[in-house]
Chains A and B, each alone.
Chain A
Amino acid sequence: MLNYVLRRVAIAIPTILLLVVISFVLMYAAPGGPFNSERPLPAQVMANIEARYGLDQPYWKQMTTYIWNVVVHFDFGPSFQYRDRTVNDVIAQGFPVTLTYGFWSFIVALVVGVALGAAAAIRHNSWLDYLAVGISIGAQVLPNFVMAPILVLVFTLWLGWLPGGGWQGGQIEYIILPVIALSTSYMASIARITRSSMLEVLNAGFIRTARAKGLPTSRIIWKHAMKPTMLPVLSYLGPAFVGMITGSVIIDVFFSTGGIGQFFVNSAFNRDYSVIMGITILVGVLTVTFNLVVDLLYAWIDPKIRY
């Protein structure tokens, strides 16, 4: 097991480094510098600014300094557009917001999805099954940027029940719509995966044995069927996580929640390279870490995996 953990970590580290290098090379390849504008600055001013941000250094030195700062000090450097804040400030301000509704979206997608899928499988070919299949088929064409306007239209403009944007320190009524918008399509996928996986498990020999022993159904489901059912679900959680963290950009922009997605898109329009890079790297590290955890969980649960 330890060997397997080490090997997985050994893949994770170059992945992150590669991401840093790619984004750095892309940024370096960009035509024009971050301080070029329509009105050219005097040469001395330009030189001073470049020295201030370390842009006068040779390329490899900039890159190693950047990587060193990111890895050792967890410092993404200053923003190129806003002199009064650093990339770390932006992350510190936006990340807790994204984390809050992202966490709830993940929980909702997982719990509702698994419950719906399992219920559908247990009551196979009943109205509940058809309902669950209907929902999961319908929801796969409703990605977050489609759900968000529909939800605001219905619950804010027509019914007037919930606010259509803002954050207000994360009060519950401001969280509900972002969470629903973000989690729906993943909930549907999880429900679909759970259903087909559970159907397969329920037809397996060991479940028949458990039934033959006369175990109560609830015990069969929870004690015997749930664990193998969760394996395919578990392997979907990695992509779902990436999808949600990407979707948070839409949520932040549409609901003005003030998470990192909003800063990301603003920076994309302002060509604020250091912020874009910092957020990309942060998201990359999160993704790689999450995938690592999922893989380890998988190896721990699935007896068939040999490390």
Chain B
Amino acid sequence: MSLNPDPGTADRLLAAQAAADVKGRSLWKDARQRFMRNRAATAGLVALVLICIFAFFGGFLAQYEPDYVDFSLIGSNASQGVPSIETGHYFGTDSSGRDLYARTVQGTRISLLVGIVGAGVAVIVGTLYGAIAGYKGGRTDGAMMRTVDILMSVPYMFVLILMLVIFGRSILMLFIGIGLISWLDMSRIARGQTLTIKGKEFVEAAHATGVRPMTIILRHIVPNLLGLVIVYATLLVPQMIITESFISFLGLGIQEPNTSLGALISNGASNMQYGVIWQLAFPLFFFVITLFAFFFVGDGLRDALDPKDR
């Protein structure tokens, strides 16, 4: 713009722009409206917010520390450790006399963290991997995607347990193990979408003006993958929670004094014949609600952001 346009034109341009701003409906705004119209998804979102509040702030309400053992209750759980407001054990106590409310808060928090970290790794590694494979194409693409094929056909749960046995059972190892497998699906989805974006004019334009391939991928391709990536990341979180709970149910995952919903369900299941059904019921309730919430939000996001897949 070498010429200075006369003030009248500039005003009109601004006015037109303002009008466009009012009327304009961005993709994200549309998506938000579609999402909000979906009652199941909105309910899921509310449930999710409540669960997060419970997991991260519920500890302030607890009357006991999660690792405080009330020795007087061991053995008389069925009669003394019943859920009640008066004793401060809102959810009762577990078989070692610990406050189940505090334990459930802790378990929900760790399960959520595992799910979110797993999905986070999937978003970062999977998206970049898929975008690079799809954008480069040819041999690179072939080699990268065959690697994913091969990794996907490995029974990962067994390898994960093998890793936990060899490198020791710790939260860090669990995060690493889950992160290692979570990105595979995402890379396929990202690659497929990249293949369709790659042919668009704006990528061609960027290429023609000499933008480096890596910059094209980061600036032009990845932002356009975002909708799809968010949808699958949301649906990935419950899967990661299930994976972690699976391992913890076997006693190979989260170790005491830490706990997760899977470990709590396992404890509850092994004690349920002693009349302490709350030890199973409360963790199970939070597990099921969390999964439901994520599935509903994920489905809602898919309907909102990915209109062709209905």
Interface residue? B245 (CB, 8 A): yes
Interface residue? A148 (CB, 8 A): yes
Q: Is the CB of B159 within 8 A of A22?
A: yes
Which residue on chain B has the smallest CB distance to residue A156?
B273
Interface flags for A265-303 (1: CB within 8 Å of B; 0: not) read 100110101001101100110011001000000000000
**Partner among B154, B158, B249, B272 whose Cβ is within 8 Å of the Cβ of A250:** B249
Q: Is the CB of A246 within 8 A of B158?
A: yes
* A149 in contact with B250 given A23-B159, A264-B161, A276-B165 (CB within 8 Å): no
Q: Is the CB of B149 within 8 A of A11?
A: yes
Interface flags for B126-160 (1: CB within 8 Å of A; 0: not) read 00000000000000000000100110011101110
Docked complex Cα distance between A269 and B167 (Å): 13
* A280 in contact with B155 given A141-B295, A271-B165 (CB within 8 Å): yes
Contact partners of A130 in chain B: CB under 8 A: none
Contact partners of B238 in chain A: CB under 8 A: 141
Q: Is the CB of B265 within 8 A of A276?
A: no
**Partner among A15, A27, A245 whose Cβ is within 8 Å of the Cβ of B154:** A15
**Partner among B155, B165, B251, B288 whose Cβ is within 8 Å of the Cβ of A246:** B155
Contact partners of A242 in chain B: CB under 8 A: 155
Q: Is the CB of A149 within 8 A of B268?
A: yes
Interface residue? A49 (CB, 8 A): no
**Partner among B146, B153, B154, B265 whose Cβ is within 8 Å of the Cβ of A146:** B265
**A-B interface contact total, Cβ < 8 Å:** 115
Interface flags for B244-284 (1: CB within 8 Å of A; 0: not) read 01100111100000000010011011001100010010001
Which of B162, B238, B292 counts the most chain A CB atoms within 10 A? B162
Q: Is the CB of A249 within 8 A of B157?
A: yes
Contact partners of B149 in chain A: CB under 8 A: 11
Interface residue? A1 (CB, 8 A): no
Interface residue? B183 (CB, 8 A): no
Contact partners of A288 in chain B: CB under 8 A: 153
Docked complex Cα distance between A269 and B255 (Å): 13
* A19 in contact with B154 given A265-B252, A268-B161, A268-B165 (CB within 8 Å): yes
* A250 in contact with B165 given A146-B265, A284-B155 (CB within 8 Å): no
Contact partners of A268 in chain B: CB under 8 A: 161-162, 164-165, 250, 252
Interface residue? B287 (CB, 8 A): yes
Interface residue? B242 (CB, 8 A): yes
Q: Is the CB of A146 within 8 A of B158?
A: no
Contact partners of A59 in chain B: CB under 8 A: none
Docked complex Cα distance between A30 and B167 (Å): 6
| CB interface residues, A 1-48, toward B, < 8 Å | 11, 14-15, 18-19, 22-23, 26-27, 29-30
Q: Is the CB of B295 within 8 A of A140?
A: yes
Interface residue? B163 (CB, 8 A): yes
| CB interface residues, B 214-256, toward A, < 8 Å | 238, 242, 245-246, 249-252
Interface flags for A139-150 (1: CB within 8 Å of B; 0: not) read 011110110111
* A143 in contact with B242 given A23-B162, A26-B166, A283-B158 (CB within 8 Å): yes
Q: Is the CB of A141 within 8 A of B288?
A: yes
* A264 in contact with B295 given A149-B265, A250-B249 (CB within 8 Å): no
Q: Is the CB of A148 within 8 A of B269?
A: yes
Interface residue? B171 (CB, 8 A): no
Docked complex Cα distance between A11 and B154 (Å): 13
Docked complex Cα distance between A263 and B202 (Å): 57
Q: Is the CB of B166 within 8 A of A287?
A: no
Contact partners of B203 in chain A: CB under 8 A: none
* A245 in contact with B150 given A30-B166, A145-B246, A264-B161 (CB within 8 Å): no
Interface residue? B291 (CB, 8 A): yes
Contact partners of A111 in chain B: CB under 8 A: none
Docked complex Cα distance between A242 and B146 (Å): 19
Contact partners of B154 in chain A: CB under 8 A: 15, 18-19, 22, 284, 287
Given A250-B246, A265-B250, 4 other A-B contacts at CB below 8 A? Answer: A18-B150, A141-B292, A145-B246, A149-B272
B→A interface (CB under 8 Å): 146, 149-150, 153-155, 157-159, 161-167, 238, 242, 245-246, 249-252, 262, 265-266, 268-269, 272-273, 277, 280, 284, 287-288, 291-292, 295
A→B interface (CB under 8 Å): 11, 14-15, 18-19, 22-23, 26-27, 29-30, 137, 140-143, 145-146, 148-150, 152-153, 157, 238, 242, 245-246, 249-250, 253-254, 264-265, 268-269, 271, 273, 276-277, 279-280, 283-284, 287-288, 291
